[in-house]
Structure 1
Amino acid sequence: MGIKVHARIFNKTFRPHLDDRSRYEIFYGGAGSGKSMFVAQRLVLRAMKEKGHKFLVVRKVAKTNRHSTFALIMGILRSWKVLGLFKVNKSDMEIGCLNGNQIIFTGLDDVEKLKSIAGITDIWVEEASEITQEDFQQLDLRLRGKTPWPLQITMTFNPVSALSWLKSFFFDVPKDNCIIHKSTYKDNRFLDDEYKKVIEDLKNQDHTYYQIYGLGEWGVLGNLVFHNYV
């Protein structure tokens, strides 16, 4: 498909990763950094321009995709005015591109659907801090579709706990064929001033929250109730 997308729609910090083909990609950091938007935009771009993709978009709980990853990608299709190039099954949260590529949304709680999906070439794990190391390893084993492109798992998350398996598995010991990218709200030129103020006000409200959601640094929340803000 002769699709042209100008580089300026992507935040500068993410542009070097438009063509990254590492087996494992880690995009982590603070709230409002635009990391999930970038991954979703790049997924749509690849779906349109490159044949041979079967994307699996995963969260811990399947239904949480509807108002997060599925809504995000649908919004991109509309804003780019390319919805006509796709066939959308809203009830099953599946999107097919006219060139044969597929985007399938599911959760680790929907075991039967996950088992039934063959030929996966790309996986995006949103809110990866919600899944376990065993969940990740199962996904890694399912990444075995035939494609001219390198197989890839991309994970996006806020670094809510220094005790997370993500830190010990990917950060503490360097892993082959893995890139790690950190971003914060300061990297997102599309973020409005009101939201920036909300993040900056965390300095005076909760040091741990500001460390995680403002600075994108690993924190230890203990028994605090927290939310992920991507």
Structure 2
Amino acid sequence: MPTAEVFAPLLDPARYKGAHGGRGSGKSHFFAEMLIEDALSERGLLSVCIREVQKTLADSAKRLIEAKLAEHRIGEADGFKVWRERIETPGDGVIIFNGMADHTAESIKSLEGFRRAWIEEAQTLSARSLTLLRPTIRAEGSEIWASWNPRRKTDPIDLLLRGSPPTGAVVVQANWRDNPWFPAVLDQERRDCLRDDPDQYDHIWEGGYVSALTGAYFAKHLATAKTEGRIGKVVADPLIRRRAYWDLGGAGASADAMAIWVAQFVDREIRVLDYIEGVGQVLAHYVAELRARGHGEALCVLPHDGVNT
């Protein structure tokens, strides 16, 4: 089955595999196809597709897997048989669909022996569910997969696979631009979102965390810059002077925040290298912080009222 380049690292065996990102990246399509491929190559494979809450099978990945079987003309002759609540796979294997919220410490034992667990919409999975699931999927060669659109850094799946990933975990970020089959109708939806709802664009389409700053002044400009590839990692040029731009705040408990941006002008680029913020600190604190971060020789640029301070 054709695979987008962004998902290539997930093709090799790994205990944990994760793909996070925004809408239209093809994360779910990739995992659905990989589940079919694994069932074809490992007869008798037991697999489970998991959501935190699954009220009906319509909430599960079952319909997507069925569509992939039809798309690639894989059926009963190949050992697959679709039933109402499960899909049988070659060699007496099976794919089932579960909601983790319905499981208890006792009932989760029914998944022992399963060697694939795909967590869909993993951003909603609770810490309790992860704690139950991880030791249960423990058969030799078993794998736990997760696909999700991040919400917060503190969500359990982000803490597990992006905060301090387990040894050998393979995690990729995939967004719409990584999908070679990204449909035109979705691209128009993306453009409309950028125009009409820039506050949410980064979360919905670029896989960013949900912003608490709805209505921020520059939300649309930042979203456009990111879409056009104008936001990325930069390095300092050792031959060009650094400049530290200060927005002054006073000292004391009721003072405004002090903010300092460190930047370089390289040709026609403005490279932002660092940011420092604090409240209630004396000026010497920020001077020491600039030196500690390697900006001791920076030209300090004060605002128009800087002479007052």
5 Å matches for 1:110-125?
110-111=102-103, 114-125=108-119
| 1:190 Cα deviation from its structure 2 partner | 1.5
Assess, with a 3 A threshold, how the Cα gap between structure 1 residues 51 and 220 changes in structure 2: closer, same or farther. same
What letter is aligned with 2:206?
Answer: L
Match of 1:171 in 2: 162
Indicate conservation of the 8 Å contact 2:125/2:156, yes or no: no
The answer to whether structure 1 residue 189 and structure 2 residue 180 are counterparts is yes
| 1:159 Cα deviation from its structure 2 partner | 0.8
What letter is aligned with 2:97?
Answer: F
Measure, in 1, the Cα distance between the counterparts of 2:86 and 2:50: 12
5 Å matches for 1:96-135?
96-111=88-103, 114-135=108-129
| 1:68 Cα deviation from its structure 2 partner | 4.1
Match of 2:10 in 1: 17
Measure, in 2, the Cα distance between the counterparts of 1:58 and 1:67: 10
Q: 1:203 aligns with which of 194, 208, 212?
A: 194
Query: Aligned to 2:101, what secondary structure does the other structure show?
Result: coil
Query: Aligned to 1:109, what secondary structure does the other structure show?
Result: helix
Q: Which has the larger radius of gyration?
A: 2
Match of 1:50 in 2: 42
Measure, in 1, the Cα distance between the counterparts of 2:173 and 2:114: 27
Assess, with a 3 A threshold, how the Cα gap between structure 1 residues 198 and 66 changes in structure 2: closer, same or farther. same
Identity score, percent: 26
| 1:100 Cα deviation from its structure 2 partner | 2.2
- CA RMSD in angstroms comes to 2.2
What letter is aligned with 1:72?
Answer: L
Indicate conservation of the 8 Å contact 2:117/2:143, yes or no: yes
Measure, in 2, the Cα distance between the counterparts of 1:207 and 1:166: 26
| 1:141 Cα deviation from its structure 2 partner | 1.5
Query: Aligned to 1:177, what secondary structure does the other structure show?
Result: coil
The answer to whether structure 1 residue 27 and structure 2 residue 27 are counterparts is no
Indicate conservation of the 8 Å contact 1:33/1:186, yes or no: yes
List structure 1 runs of 4+ shifted beyond 6 angstroms.
none
What letter is aligned with 1:205?
Answer: D
Structure-2-length-normalised TM-score: 0.62
**Post-superposition CA distance 1:4-25 (Å, at most 9, x none):** x4xxx2222223422x221111
Measure, in 2, the Cα distance between the counterparts of 1:210 and 1:65: 29
| 1:65 Cα deviation from its structure 2 partner | 4.1
Q: Which has the higher contact order (CA 8 A, sep 6+)?
A: 1
Measure, in 2, the Cα distance between the counterparts of 1:98 and 1:168: 36
Query: Aligned to 2:24, what secondary structure does the other structure show?
Result: coil
Measure, in 2, the Cα distance between the counterparts of 1:130 and 1:65: 17
Gaps of 5+ in 2: 215-309
Structure-1-length-normalised TM-score: 0.82
Assess, with a 3 A threshold, how the Cα gap between structure 1 residues 173 and 116 changes in structure 2: closer, same or farther. closer
Measure, in 2, the Cα distance between the counterparts of 1:22 and 1:217: 25
| 1:160 Cα deviation from its structure 2 partner | 1.9
| 1:137 Cα deviation from its structure 2 partner | 1.6
Match of 1:89 in 2: 83
Measure, in 1, the Cα distance between the counterparts of 2:158 and 2:5: 25
Query: Aligned to 2:97, what secondary structure does the other structure show?
Result: strand
Indicate conservation of the 8 Å contact 1:163/1:220, yes or no: no
